[in-house]
Structure 1
């Protein structure tokens, strides 16, 4: 999870790719962002289109030189869609400068930026996107710099993807190597939420994970502890691939659970563990059963009224999650065990993914404030391999010329793409093109 670099496609390149359609790559000419009150995203909001991701211009140029105008145009159109700006570290002065620069660029577009605040100590369980502030004090200083730079500007702020989904105790790492606690994590997220929420024109959301991860009672408890009721709500599906129907069901259940357990007159008051989830009575991998959990909430809400809003990341969910079932058949012939392991790691650079619904604040769903492109399309999730625990492969059942033959090299190899994947945040040309080609709805 990495930010975009401050580069823009040149007018000449845009003209080469789109010809008369040059405006696709230029800032839009629609209505400027309407004033919002009460920390709510206005339905008329235009979201900010950041500079193209580092690597995208080079790939578009390469496609043009190869005479592939169709794919060059698809990639250019992908880069013209609003997406989030990731704040991933640096000194307080450096991150403040990044925020101010983005706000100026957004103002020139008449648009509202979406920021991802991503510098929590012990980030990502020290895995592919490892990093973050050194300690709580350093993190608070960094957050204060972000809040000060935002000032009274209009902005959406998504606070720390994975921070509540992967609390330090979930990482299963020795404290000697990973000296962070759940209490510290909750306090850090709560501090960031409070500091960023002070701006009357911001909409702040906390990590609500996704429907194939934390059960509704678990994430409800963590959200409440981190102060979700002092924010606009929570975000779902960042850097993941769950479908819009799943996200809307899950989002409504989390909001329902929050309402039930915070209503002093409700029988579930103070007990998130009483709430139904995607795991019961529903079965998480059988969407046809999810109506059972919806019915449970309908029957048990009583006078509680759901009011906690949410946003979802649709940047890569156009085709939904890859079940990896293809790899169990010819010509791959992988075992059921290998396919199950691939399924568990299907969040990491899966094949056959496509861009999803374009960002909008007009969702038609009462508590769903916006559909956003949060994860930068085309950027790698990391070096998805067996060594990282997200790939499994029997090379005796299927291999190709040029693939590694020794165990050490195979452990660093991604057989789904037939290569060693780029590092987290680096441009992944093959994945970028596939996302654009398989977009749903299709790119123009």
Structure 2
């Protein structure tokens, strides 16, 4: 499946969980992220039950993940050591998002069989519910609920008898605005059947249903929906923050509030996605590959909280939301930014963060020494994303670059990738991130950004390290 991107954004997107799918033999996944208002924490959780996942559980690391393949193929890349230590070394969810009834059982076995042989527990994200994402950027899914029910049974047939963690349908309970009351009821009944089918095929599988996140539905509302979706009978708990940026503390508190609203049943617990929440949400609620984020707590079942079964990396860090690159594509620059912003390597004391000072710039000769291509990649009411390519057309290598321009309208950058941006009024400066500081003669560097605006008129001129550039 080739997923849609963010080319068409609704005028007003509802608060939602960001989705960043992974490309695998089973299909290419897609991405969305979160906006929304902060949730009050007036609900007080009761005594937490005992966790259903043993502490010390070894989670499965897929040797064929995109990041693992990139690390193996790029031993000389300056970003490789940090990405290898802090991302590729970690177990991450494997997404099943392609409707492939004829192969799904074997696709699942291709994961669960080696995981069982290694004595490890895989995390499998099921993402095939009809009308998923309400027709948004992650639209798709099975053609109807009957087909979905059959697909889930075939999925379950590949689990075997070992322990596994099932992330059942992100957004499916939280995002139902496109459904009628009857359609929502039918979906929730199908989710309940899915949980039952998975447990029937593999009693050792742990099924977690969509809990949304702490800046979306209230804990009481989410509990009511989960109850209707069969969580009390056919699941082991709920997941929160999938592909999102909310802090772990907020998500743990929210999950406990949902459990409390469900009556704190002894068999239900929660898991939290911590894959890129190390710095919390982006300012202004930027959701699509926002800059300045960081990997969060490394995946573990040793959470220190009996109500929280695991901290997981459900969304693989470094795979694009759809703004920095095609949704689901692994981007080493994004991965490096997330990883280098982390506080430490796994299982080691904090280490000194990579230097952020860029090499001194080489002043280009006067005259035409650069060419800039500025493209509006996506646009929607009140917002846009832009891609920028800077080509070195001079006679000397550029070591450290600073690109400046002035917006002709009210454009305001909210996040950027592959560059560090500052803005004062309409004046913008974009600088390199160290790893992409060198631009050889004839070479180029790409970066992009997301912003708000009532006009997408492009800048009329650019300067690179003080020299004028031609532009198109």
Aligned to 1:424: 327
How high is the TM-score relative to the length of structure 2? 0.60
CA separation of 1:210 and 1:61: change in aligned 2, threshold 3 A: same
In structure 1, distance between residues paired with 2:67 and 2:206: 30
User: What 5-or-longer segments of structure 2 have no aligned partner?
Assistant: 1-19, 27-49, 349-472
2:221 to 218, 222, 230: 218
Please show how residues 233-382 of structure 1 align to structure 2 within 5 Å.
Answer: 233-259=237-263, 308-323=268-283, 343-344=284-285, 346-382=286-322
Which one is further off, 351-360 or 48-57?
Answer: 48-57
8 Å Cα contact 1:258/1:306 also seen in 2: no
- How far 1:54 moved relative to its partner? 2.9
Which one is further off, 204-213 or 145-154?
Answer: 145-154
The yes-or-no answer on 1:115 pairing with 2:124 is yes
In structure 2, distance between residues paired with 1:377 and 1:434: 10
How high is the TM-score relative to the length of structure 1? 0.63
In structure 2, distance between residues paired with 1:197 and 1:209: 22
**3-state DSSP class of the match of 2:103?**
helix
CA separation of 1:314 and 1:132: change in aligned 2, threshold 3 A: same
**3-state DSSP class of the match of 1:134?**
coil
Which structure has the larger Rg over C-alpha atoms?
2
Aligned to 1:100: 109
8 Å Cα contact 2:189/2:230 also seen in 1: no
Aligned length, in residue pairs? 302
Aligned to 1:187: 189
In structure 1, distance between residues paired with 2:321 and 2:278: 17
**3-state DSSP class of the match of 2:102?**
helix
CA separation of 1:5 and 1:220: change in aligned 2, threshold 3 A: same
8 Å Cα contact 1:155/1:201 also seen in 2: yes
Residues 394-432 of structure 1 deviation map (CA, whole Å, 9 limit, x = unaligned): xxxxxxxxxxxxxxxxxxxxxxxxxxx322212233211
8 Å Cα contact 1:39/1:203 also seen in 2: no
8 Å Cα contact 1:358/1:372 also seen in 2: yes
Aligned to 2:174: 165
Residues 254-303 of structure 1 deviation map (CA, whole Å, 9 limit, x = unaligned): 111110xxxxxxxxxxxxxxxxxxxxxxxxxxxxxxxxxxxxxxxxxxxx
In structure 2, distance between residues paired with 1:194 and 1:214: 25
In structure 2, distance between residues paired with 1:441 and 1:205: 29
The yes-or-no answer on 1:80 pairing with 2:86 is no
1:201 to 183, 192, 204: 204
- How far 1:58 moved relative to its partner? 4.0
Residues 208-254 of structure 1 deviation map (CA, whole Å, 9 limit, x = unaligned): 01101111121111100001112111001000011111011111111
Residues 126-164 of structure 1 deviation map (CA, whole Å, 9 limit, x = unaligned): 222221101111101110001111132211101000111
User: What 5-or-longer segments of structure 1 have no aligned partner?
Assistant: 8-37, 260-303, 324-342, 384-420
8 Å Cα contact 2:51/2:308 also seen in 1: no
The yes-or-no answer on 1:136 pairing with 2:157 is no
**3-state DSSP class of the match of 1:93?**
coil
- How far 1:436 moved relative to its partner? 1.1
8 Å Cα contact 2:236/2:267 also seen in 1: no
In structure 1, distance between residues paired with 2:213 and 2:103: 31
In structure 2, distance between residues paired with 1:248 and 1:161: 17
8 Å Cα contact 1:207/1:236 also seen in 2: yes
8 Å Cα contact 1:4/1:85 also seen in 2: no
In structure 2, distance between residues paired with 1:142 and 1:136: 10
Aligned to 2:55: 43
8 Å Cα contact 1:39/1:202 also seen in 2: no
1:2 to 18, 21, 46: 21
In structure 2, distance between residues paired with 1:243 and 1:359: 15
Please show how residues 382-421 of structure 1 align to structure 2 within 5 Å.
Answer: 382-383=322-323, 421=324
Aligned to 2:161: 152
